[in-house]
Amino acid sequence: MQNFNYKRKSTILIMNFFIGIFFFILLIKYFQIQILNHQKYVNKSRRNSIRQVIQKAPRGIIYDRNGIAIVDNRPIFDLQLIPEDVNKNFDYHLFSSITEIDSNSVKLKVFNKKNNINKFKPITIKRHLSYIEMSRLNENLLSFPGMLFSELPARVYPNNCKLSHTLGYLREVNEQQISIENSVYKYGDIIGTAGIEKQYEDVLRGIDGVEFHMVDKFGRDHGIIDDEIKYNKKSGSSIQLTIDSDLQLFCEELMYGKNGALITMNPISGEIISIVSSPQFDLNSFIGPIPFSTWNNWNRDKSKPLNNRVINGYYSPGSIFKLVTAAMILENPSINHNEKINCSGNYKYYDVDMNCWNLDGHGDVNLNEAIKYSCNVYFYKLIQEFNLDDLFNMSEKMGFNKKTNIDLPNESSGIIPDKKYMNQKYTSRGWAFGNLLNFVIGQGEVITTPIQIAQFMNIIATKGETKEPKLLLNSKSKNIKVNLNDNSWKFIQQSLEDVVNQKGGTGLNTKIDKGGIVSGKTGTVENPPNEPHSWFAGYLKTEENDLLSLAIIVENGGKGSATATPMAKRVFEKYVSIKQ
């Protein structure tokens, strides 16, 4: 028994001895690597390193209704440095001379990151390098250890039409967008900030990919490491708009040099065929950093080029709004719309003189003639058969005082005053029935947007069965149903046809010689001390029974019958030629 215990103790001692020897050797080797040869192995590790490379996914291409690209992509590059790889051989003076960035600023950025956990994370030094800068930096690559370029897809606009307010632009994500719960964005990402780019961000945005590259100590890329996990980038989905780029370009050229808006639509489907807010701005300015001078000029410009007048322009509708009262008259069985009302050019409401635009008067006119000649006095007298609530309710029925739900962000809803609105603005003693005399002719507190006027024409052209406006082709659009007596619709349609095609009609300048029949209504909006705004709204029915609605306003353009009408005529003629 004693002999067994002795042998057991001997075996344990021998094992402990060899274990001790093993750990002693391991300790010596650790000391050799970590202490004696530390710098040697650090230098070796720096000769070759694995670098994560983010592959930026391109956004989806945007096409017009005919498959013509109006927004595409091209790569631009950011300049970055990896703080840990920047060493004493980095030529800050040469770097500064090429990039025009203060060398001390670069040193400070690198130093602040070099001694913390983010020392391997690239820091952006300059965005959107020019081709010349990138070429010179590549030529001197060995002088800039730790330098790399980050590719970023940017938008280009290959088509001649601008569509600036509708397409919108891209900007880099901000802190708030990154910090949102479950945000898919990270620093340096771009995001749609306005227009279609913002509205369909989730569709157009791609998914970035990840690759791992072997890079030597001089920053030279030796290609992808195949045994590392990688994720391929996925491009964003392309979309097709309802826009016809041919008609769009024509409308943009027609509005050039003018302030205002022009929109054409298909009343049956709600598709927007062309849409112009003028003046426009250059979308190419948003590819790189916008110079402060350019941005400041845009914001100081009294013409407000960044404002989308189609959906945010607040305009009194002028005489176009008389059609709302016309619908009220036609739907009221106690009023005879064929009865003649005398217009002497002036109407006295208590001690207030209200003039017709024709100071000589129109003589005896019925409703059809009042619409055709745009007689104010007729409507001054007939509105007294109604109250403010009646006008408000019919206005909302026709799509005013609310958004049209066009697929663009930040649409305005306009203003149709009711009693609550007037009481808040003037108090109950500060306004009276006489305000209705202004409202009935589309002046005063009645405010609409051009897209609302275009939708109003869609409602009339389809006898109250249209769809909400849309810019995305083949997308679903909500139905709009406005119930009026069929005879009421027929009367309004015939009156609008007479405005354009009968002698004395204020829209006679819009009549086209062939290809279809135009119907519509002019509007002149007082804008003292400046010239009035010029309106025309209507629709074309072609010989093939196609419909095209239109709304145009030219700020300070003078009478609607003089400025907006011939412009509308040219648009209708262009549309007919395109269809043929």
Q: Is pLDDT larger for residue 70 or for residue 349?
A: 70
Residue 453 lies in a domain: yes
User: Rounded mean pLDDT of 178-198?
Assistant: 85
* Least trusted range by pLDDT, from 11-20, 283-292, 405-414: 283-292
pLDDT at 199: 96
Distance CA 465, CA 251 (A): 27
Residue 17 lies in a domain: no
- The confidence score (pLDDT) of residue 353 equals 87
Q: Is residue 135 located within the same domain as residue 208? A: yes
Q: Which domain holds residue 533?
A: 245-579
Helix (H) or strand (E) segment spanning residue 27: helix 2-31
Q: Would you call 548 helix, strand, or coil by DSSP?
A: strand
Instruction: Say if residue 65 is in the same domain as residue 150.
Output: yes
What is the pLDDT, as a whole number, of residue 26?
A: 78
Is the pLDDT confidence value at 411 over 70? yes
Give dist(CA 205, CA 191) in Å, integer: 8
Same domain, 233 and 301: no
Rounded average pLDDT over 513-534: 94
| 452 and 320 in a common domain | yes
- Residue 315 and residue 230 share a domain: no
> Does residue 479 form part of some domain?
yes
pLDDT exceeds cutoff 70 at 192? yes
Pairing outcome for strands 209-216 and 48-55: antiparallel
Confidence bin at 210 (pLDDT 50/70/90)? confident
Domains of the chain: total: 2
Q: Which of 208, 240, 272 is the last residue of a domain?
A: 240
pLDDT tens for 299-344 read: 888 889 999 999 999 999 999 999 999 999 999 999 999 999 999 9
Of the three residues 217, 240, 263, the one that is the final residue of a domain is: 240
Read off the pLDDT of residues 85-108 as tens digits, 9 standing for 90 and up.
888 899 999 999 999 999 999 999
Domain presence at residue 310: yes
Q: What is the dihedral of CA 299, 305, 308, 310, to 10 degrees?
A: 150
Mean pLDDT in residue range 556-563: 88
Distance between CA atoms of residues 235 and 205, nearest Å: 7
Do 123 and 215 lie in one domain? The reply is yes
Three-state SS string over 178-228 comes to: HHCCCCCCCCCCEEECCHHHHHCHHHHCCECEEEEEEEECCCCEEEECCCC
Max mean pLDDT among 70-79, 198-207, 268-277 falls in 268-277
Q: Are residues 513 and 464 in the same domain?
A: yes
Cα–Cα distance, 297 to 35 (Å, whole number): 62
More confident call, 180 vs 478: 478
Please, are residues 455 and 404 in contact by the beta-carbon 8 Å criterion?
A: yes
CA distance 320 to 564: 13
Task: Give 456's pLDDT tier (boundaries 50, 70, 90).
Answer: very high
In-domain check, residue 20? no
Q: Which residues contact 27 (CB under 8 A, 6 or more apart)?
A: none
What is the enclosing helix (H) or strand (E) of 493?
A: helix 486-501
- Give the model's confidence band at 119: pLDDT under 50 very low, under 70 low, under 90 confident, else very high: confident
How much of the chain is in helix, strand and coil states, percent to nearest 5? Answer: 40, 20, 40
CA–CA dist 174, 191 (Å, integer): 9
Q: What pLDDT, on the 0 to 100 scale, is given for residue 72?
A: 93
Is residue 440 predicted with pLDDT exceeding 80?
yes
pTM for this model (two decimals): 0.84
Considering the domain architecture, whether residues 163 and 137 belong to the same structural domain is answered as yes
CA distance linking residue 185 with residue 173, whole number of Å: 7
Predicted confidence at residue 114, as pLDDT, reads: 83
Statement to judge: residues 546 and 440 lie in one domain:
yes
Supply φ then ψ for residue 483, to 5 degrees: -90, 110
CATH number of the domain to which 421 belongs = 3.40.710.10
Predicted local distance difference test score (pLDDT) of residue 230? 66
CB 572 within 8 A of CB 516: yes
Helix axes 92-99, 103-114, angle to 10 degrees: 120
Percent share of the chain, pLDDT over 70: 90
E runs forming strands in 438-525: 465-467, 479-481, 516-525
**Long-range contacts at 118-121 (CB < 8 A, ≥ 24 apart):** 118/83, 119/82, 119/83, 119/84, 120/82, 120/83, 120/84, 121/82, 121/83
Of 220, 240, 260, the one marking the end of a domain is 240
Residue 151 in domain = yes
Is residue 509, in this structure, part of any structural domain at all? yes
Structure tokens at 218: 């001089």
Residue tagged 């002497």 (tokens): 344
296 or 484, greater pLDDT: 484
Q: What is the pLDDT of residue 121?
A: 80
Query: Which pLDDT score, from 0 to 100, does residue 7 have?
Result: 60
Q: Is the pLDDT of residue 38 over 80?
A: no
Query: Residue 148: CB partners within 8 Å, gap ≥ 6?
Result: 51, 80, 81, 82, 122, 219
* Inside any domain, residue 171: yes
Q: To the nearest whole number, what is the mean pLDDT of the chain?
A: 88
List the CATH number of the domain containing 89: 3.90.1310.10
Both 121 and 156 in a single domain?
A: yes
278 in the same domain as 229? no
